[in-house]
Structure 1
Amino acid sequence: MIYLLISILSSTAIFVVFKLFKKYEVNTLQGIVVNYFTAFLLGFLLYKGRIVPSEIIQTDWFIAAIMLGFLFIAIFNVMALTAQKNGLSVASVASKMSVIIPVVFGIVVFKESVGTQKILGIILALVAVYLTSVKQKGNIVLTQSIYLPVILFLGSGIIDTSINYFAPDDNIPLFSATIFAMAALIGVILLLVSLAQSKNKLKLISIPFGIALGLVNYCSIHFLLLALRVENTESSTLFTINHIAILALSTLIGLVLFKEDISKKNWIGIILALISIALVTLA
């Protein structure tokens, strides 16, 4: 469970770094690009074997890694658009509710166990996602640009499912690095277009914050994959625990560090999240 714990803490740290982006006026796109390059370099540094580009291209996971790199950038932009047009609450609910996709995939494709207690835990987890994500001041507008939260829901779920399905057991650092390398290349193109179309300039402060984001971003995926490769571990159980724990911990950190308001619904969501984790873990 140590791998899962590190992944949860790393994913929660991503939330903290993004909060600091806003506080210190870091350019989000610039920070994101630095983040992907950092994660890409970290993956290659952690890989202990000999790196031969021609051999990487011939692996059975290379095409999947390239597609995931595209998805990383695309879904990030969809998340931003969803937040702008439908509200932050809708974006949060859509992305977190997507956990149902890898959970169902694990049960159907991998023939993982399913029982009354586990199903109840998963249902409570989804209710917890909604209650914890919805803020008092957030206006939920599902009718406006309804396709955006749908795409965000499907895209986030496909990313989680694909990472688990295609990741090679013996080449996790290289697999992760390839995904981040593709995301970084696309990010550079977007950044160059953005700089050409606006008067924004490169901000040096984006570099240290981007590096910090890249470190925790890489760890969140690397250790999640390691947790999924532990013997007798079921992806449906692990993804449920991972998503719900991140959501609950992020909400509590928002309260303690950033003095965010937490409503009664949010507290009920946190309590249900803890109950769902216990039910799924002990199922």
Structure 2
Amino acid sequence: MYTLILSIAFSVAVSIFLKLARRGDIRVDQAIAVNYVTAVVLSLWLLRPPLDTLFERPPAAWLILGLLGILLPSVFLVMAAAVRRAGIVRSDTAQRLSLILPILAAFLVFHEAVSGRKALGIVLALCALACLLARPRHTGNGAPSSDAPAPDTAAAASTDVSDDEAHGSAARGWLTLLGVWAGYGCIDILFKQMARLGAGFTGSLLLSFILAGLLMGLWLLARRTRWHARSLASGILLGGLNFSNIYFYIRAHQTFPDNPTLVFAAMNIGVISIGTLVGAGLFRERLSALNVLGIALALGAIVLLFPR
């Protein structure tokens, strides 16, 4: 169980880092690139994968690695685009609703047995998710909620913006949200598949970090990025947190190989529950009665999903 708790804790720490990065003039794309370099170094130092057999993997394993190498950096970038186009709250909601995909995969792909207790736990988990994501639509003075994306001042000043352009912008916003939802859900499923590799997962984890780092680095070079020292240095911290989150997440799947729903649900619900509490305590975010109810439902869901 400690593997799951540690994975949740490090995932929340990553979220806190990304939230503070916006305030600290940290360019997240550059920090993400260094994050993968750090993860490669930590994999070599702590996991010590057998390098002599590093590339000796079956085709199915290479498919998983290739997909992770593409998705890990891509979803970061899609999430950033979603935040710009659709707002922070909607983007976070899309990420958390991705829980639906791995839960479906637990039964359809990994052939997990369904019981009444487990079904009730899933229902409670989804209800908890709805309660935790609930935010007031208006502030006390009637101002709009924070889930609305920031207006473009140039567009707001213009009076001749066509309906087609407005619809196109909205469509692109929804496409980025769909990308966040599908991307995070697929990554969860791929990590479960990696966990099933057994002892060979350390080498696979190293290769996925190398591929992700290469793609992120090439993307930054293609954009002719001007490097920012603070952002590059902060990537070392992000890499340590992200490496620990992914490592313990895979270990949790190995600890509960026959109960992927527990890991999928506990991870998503645990992260957003603790994140909600941290937001209230550290960032002065208000908790509604529904949010508190969501935390209680989340605890109940995890208890029901936990094997006897």
Report the TM-score when normalising by structure 1. 0.89
Cα distance, 1:30 vs structure 2:
1.0
CA distance in 2: counterparts of 1:100 and 1:228, whole angstroms: 17
Indicate conservation of the 8 Å contact 1:103/1:237, yes or no.
Answer: no
**Alpha-carbon distance, 1:214 to partner:** 0.7
Question: Equivalent residue for 1:40?
Answer: 40
Of the three residues 56, 59, 81, the one matched with 2:57 is: 59
Distance 1:271 1:87 in 2: 27
| Structure-2 change in CA distance of 1:85 and 1:207 (3 Å) | closer
How far did residue 180 of structure 1 move?
A: 1.3
Contact 2:256 2:263 in 1 (8 A): no
Find the counterpart in structure 2 of residue 127 from structure 1. Answer: 127
Give the aligned residue type for 2:50.
R
1:181 and 2:210 matched: yes
Q: Distance in 2 between matches of 1:81 and 1:130?
A: 24
Does residue 165 of structure 2 align to residue 157 of structure 1?
A: no
Gap change, CA 1:48 and 1:127, over 3 Å in 2: same
Matched, 1:227 2:252: yes
Residue 7 of structure 1 and its aligned partner are, at CA, apart by 0.7
By how many angstroms is 1:46 displaced? 2.5
Q: Distance in 2 between matches of 1:135 and 1:190?
A: 35
For the residues of structure 1 that align with 2:183 and 2:26, how far apart are their CA atoms?
Answer: 26
Q: Distance in 1 between matches of 2:130 and 2:80?
A: 19
| 1:13/1:216 contact within 8 Å kept | yes
Query: Partners of 1:170 and 1:282 in 2: how far apart?
Result: 24
Bigger Cα displacement from structure 2, 28-37 vs 113-122: 113-122
**1:102·1:160 contact (CA, 8 Å) conserved in 2?**
yes
1:256: Cα distance to partner?
A: 1.0
**Is 1:195 the counterpart of 2:224 in the alignment?**
yes
State which drifts further: 57-66 or 32-41: 57-66
Q: What is the number of residues matched between the two proteins? A: 276
Greater gyration radius: 2
For residues 106 and 9 of structure 2, the distance between their equivalents in structure 1, rounded to whole angstroms, comes to: 23
Give the Cα–Cα distance (whole angstroms) in 2 for the partners of residues 15 and 231 of structure 1: 25
Structure 1 residues 176 and 275, CA gap change in structure 2 (3 angstroms): same
Distance 1:154 1:232 in 2: 23
Q: Does the CA contact (< 8 Å) of 1:172 and 1:222 recur in 2? A: no
Distance in 1, Cα, partners of 2:146 & 2:113: 37
The 1-side partners of 2:208 and 2:285 are apart by: 34
Judge conservation of contact 1:38–1:214 (CA < 8 Å) in 2: yes
Tell me the equivalent position of 1:9: 9
Give the corresponding residue for 1:212: 237
The Cα offsets for residues 45-65 of structure 1, whole Å up to 9 and x where unpaired, read as 22334313xx43330213321
Q: Which residue identity is paired with 2:234?
A: F
- Does the CA contact (< 8 Å) of 2:49 and 2:202 recur in 1? no
Q: Any residues of structure 2 matched to 1:242-261 within 5 Å, and which?
A: 242-261=267-286
- Rounded Cα–Cα distance in structure 2 between residues aligned with 1:174 and 1:241: 26
Identity %: 28
Return 218-227 or 38-47, whichever deviates more: 38-47
- Checking the alignment, whether the CA contact within 8 Å between 2:262 and 2:306 is kept in structure 1 is yes
Aligned partner of 2:254: which letter?
R
Cα deviations across residues 183-233 of structure 1 (Å, max 9, x unaligned)?
A: 11111122223335xxxx322212332111111111111111111112664
Q: Report how far residue 91 of structure 1 moved.
A: 1.2
TM-score normalised by the chain length of structure 2: 0.82
**8 Å Cα contact 2:29-2:77 kept in structure 1:** no
The alignment partner of 1:17 has SS state of helix
Rounded to whole Å, the distance in 1 between the matches of 2:5 and 2:28 is 27
